Amino acid sequence: MENLRPRFALIILLAFCALLPFSSRAITLPGDVNNDNQVNITDVTELITLLINGNVTDAATITAADMNGNGQLDIADVTTLINLLINGTPAAVQKTLTVNGVSFTMIAVEGGTFTMGATAEEGNYARRNEYPAHEVTLSGYYIAQTEVTWELWLAVTGGDPSNFDGDLQSPVVDVTLFDCAKFVDKLTELTGKVFRMPTEAEWEFAARGGNGAIRYRYAGSDDIDQVAWYADNSGGTVHAVATKAPNRLGIYDMSGNVLEWCQDWYYIYNEEPQTNPVGPESGYSNVIRGGAWDYNAGACHVTYRVGKDPHEMGPNLGLRMVMNM
């Protein structure tokens, strides 16, 4: 009798799902359990059926259905998938991975089209290199919930935390773009997932909050003090990650705390629509984004951009990685 309870609960949940007013909605996120290039109520019923029957061994099915990224299928995956469909937001979908005992979370960003560059909410803060605003279409991806911390950096690179005298939850700084490239390559090797540096467009889309987001001046608010550590409130130092409010996707510190490297060579915008832009093939400096603990408010808005020599490092310069879907 005890063993029948989980199956009974799943059957009740399946009956409940049949009554939900879902409509089919094609999205570029995990959850396509039945492999029809859509994520909708049929995927929920398919997932419940898989759980009832048990013994799922197909790797592709497990990857699509493992909504929580813990390597197994369980009732929590059903709950997450239902929440995704009800809320219509990728904030419900995330993957938590662990490397050498240190866990970190990647947030799914649904693919879509947005206006990149300076728009009305930037006001007088917008600079010449943020124009012209232009249409960009992106495929889906995952982005780190926080800037890379010293704890994760040491776990990936093999450093000894006992030799570190700072806050392990503060973002890593004083790293060149080449240091960051080595880090994401090692992370890929350790996890079997494909990590890389974000493109500038991916960075801005995530900072703005993805599809359907309210257009705020900063990443998650028009009130910078809610979401960012910057010159007026940082006390002259970097702070532990995730100690200010996140944006609508649940991503922290995309305004302020530390600047973040992007993979693109710095370039001047044009007004032509683009799909998955990666910047020019060559250049002299790479894009950095996000503002920092020692920057004023005018340099922490979501469209602020500047180029920096990829060999350069500094106490306000770190990174945030993305992961391929």
Q: How far apart are CA 42 and CA 91, in angstroms?
A: 21
Just give the CATH number of 4-88: 1.10.1330
Kindly list the domain boundaries of the chain, sorted by start residue.
4-88, 96-323
pLDDT tens-digit series, residues 116-152: 999 999 988 999 999 999 999 999 999 999 999 999 9
189's CB contacts (< 8 A; 6+ apart) are: none
Task: Decide whether 4-88 matches 96-323 in CATH topology.
Answer: no
Distances from the Cα of 231 to the Cα of 58, 125, 227, angstroms: 51, 16, 13
The model's confidence at residue 33, banded by pLDDT at 50, 70 and 90, is confident
Q: How far apart are CA 227 and CA 247, in angstroms?
A: 8
pLDDT tens-digit series, residues 198-257: 999 999 999 999 987 788 999 999 999 999 999 999 999 999 999 999 998 889 999 999
- 222 strand-pairing partners: none
Residue pair 303/126 in contact (Cβ under 8 Å)? The answer is yes
Q: How far apart are CA 325 and CA 249, in angstroms?
A: 17
Residue pair 31/63 in contact (Cβ under 8 Å)? The answer is no
pLDDT tens-digit series, residues 159-213: 988 888 899 999 999 999 999 999 999 999 999 999 999 999 999 999 999 987 7
The second-level CATH assignment, the architecture, of 96-323 is Alpha-Beta Complex (3.90)
Tell me: cis bond preceding 90? Omega within 30 of 0 counts.
Answer: no
